[in-house]
Amino acid sequence: MKWRAALAAVLLAAGLSACGNGSPSSDGGKNTASGGDAEKLVDQKCSACHGDQLQGNVGPNLQHIGSKLSEKQILNVIENGKGDMPKGLLKGDDAQKVAKWLSKKK
């Protein structure tokens, strides 16, 4: 039983570390994608935890998140984190663009 808890902790830590790749972007870390393609940002920063189709993985399924949370609520989670999701993976315009894009997933 203890090995299952240890395995779960290791998998959770690995999944969370994959959520933010930690490598600086070419623009000094100000934006992950100038021009703001929300789908590309989600692919780069969110898919490791939420799945490549937003189907859920370590993080919850986001395929219909817009029917559960408003754009403002989604932005709050992106900026401040929630549960196992760390805060600050996306900031500023990038966070806003992703929140708007996700809010349309109904």
Please enumerate, by residue number, every residue annotated as part of a binding site for heme c: 46, 49-50, 85
Candidates 95, 76, 79; CA nearest to 87 is 79
Candidates 37, 41, 77, 36; CA nearest to 59 is 77
Per the annotation, where are the binding residues? Answer: 46, 49-50, 85
Candidates 66, 76, 69, 67; CA nearest to 101 is 66
